[in-house]
Homo-oligomer: A and B are copies of this chain.
Amino acid sequence: MSIITNINKAFDHRIRLGIMSILMVNEFADFNMLKELLGATDGNIASHAKALEKVEYIKVEKQFIGRKPNTRYSTTDLGRAEFKKHINALEKLINKS
């Protein structure tokens, strides 16, 4: 049990941290919203979202809006819980600083 035990590896990257933060305040966010808010490339958003999906911290829904494909993301219960744990761990770490 070290000081970084509860720092979640899945949130070790700023883009993943960004995706989670966005999804904590917005019930849904679509691909382009993430891309714009984070200023990342398409491939980047896709792969980091996939990483969060793989550990089941976010979920993906694909639908059509009119005739356009639309991919929207939202957190899972697990994801919210893990993110909160991560934030608490970060705060503890930081408050020592």
Q: Which of A41-63 contact B (CB under 8 A)?
A: none
Q: How many copies does the complex hold?
A: 2
Residues in B neighbouring A87, C-beta threshold 8 A: 94, 97
- We find that the number of chain A residues with CB closer than 8 angstroms to chain B is 29
Q: Does A97 contact B12, Cβ atoms closer than 8 Å?
A: no
- Bound-state CA distance A13–B17 (Å) is 12
Cβ-based interface call for A83 (8 A): yes
Residues in B neighbouring A96, C-beta threshold 8 A: 21, 24-25
Cβ-based interface call for A14 (8 A): yes
Residues in B neighbouring A24, C-beta threshold 8 A: 96-97
Q: Does A18 contact B83, Cβ atoms closer than 8 Å?
A: no
